Amino acid sequence: MNTKKVVIAGGPGTGKTSIIAHLKSLEYTCYDEISRQVTLQARKDGIEQLFLTEPLLFSEKLLEGRKQQFLDAEKETKNVVFLDRGLPDVLAYMDYIGDTYPKHFITTCDTHQYDYIFILEPWQEIFTSDSERYESFEEAIKIHHHLLNTYKRFGYKLIDVPFGSIENRTDFILDLLNLQ
């Protein structure tokens, strides 16, 4: 079966995880964002903010994890898998902080292509910070522009998800994919 890999992308605090949670409640196959897991594991290892102290190592761990999610999604027996962020997000964040990364980051994004990319814009009304999300709303806007540029660089046509309730945003995605 040719499982469609659908990425829900966007900067911090845009509602990605809430949409993924709603899709799960509707019994769709979803893969969670892994950056929080990487961050929490680093904290257990004594590093408070791995992304800030060792951004390349953090990004390498994200790239590996997201590549594994991509490969796992290809093995699914369902017709669609939703992913909270995709491989190009790693490059967008590295570009955002002005750091360089090895060529295999680019090669990995080139050779692992998703079927659909839904992008969520920064939304002031729902934006919050927490212990794993340290960015301000202004930084979230800058990250959003890096995400747009990076996904377009890899040839993706981005689908903007309008503001609205979690249910309405999820319905928009499902309708566009002809899943309702």
Q: How many domains does one find in the chain?
A: 1
CB atoms within 10 A of CB 117: 21
Contact call for residues 158 and 149 (beta carbons, < 8 A): no
pLDDT of residue 35: 81
* CA 101 to chain centroid: 18
- Banded pLDDT at 132 (limits 50, 70, 90): low
pLDDT in tens, 12-51: 889 998 999 999 999 999 999 988 787 778 788 876 776 6
Choose between 131 and 127: higher pLDDT. Answer: 127
Least confident of 27-36, 44-53, 74-83, 113-122: 44-53
> Given this model, what pLDDT does residue 159 score?
97
**pLDDT at site 130:** 59
pLDDT band at 103 (very low <50, low <70, confident <90, very high): very high
Q: Using 50, 70 and 90 to split pLDDT, how confident is the model at 89?
A: very high
Q: Give the residue among 31, 24, 34 at the shortest CA–CA distance from 132.
A: 34
Q: Do 129 and 136 meet the contact criterion of CB atoms below 8 Å apart?
A: yes
> Per-residue pLDDT for 133 more than 60?
no
Is residue 83 within 8 Å of residue 31, measured between CB atoms? yes
Residues spanned by the domain of 108 = 4-176
pTM for this predicted structure: 0.90
What is the CATH number for 67? Answer: 3.40.50.300
- Identify the H or E element spanning 147: helix 137-153
Give yes or no for a contact between 90 and 9, defined as CB atoms under 8 angstroms apart.
no
- What's the pLDDT at 124? 79
Bridge partners (DSSP) listed for residue 29: 81
Q: What three-state secondary structure class fits 88?
A: helix
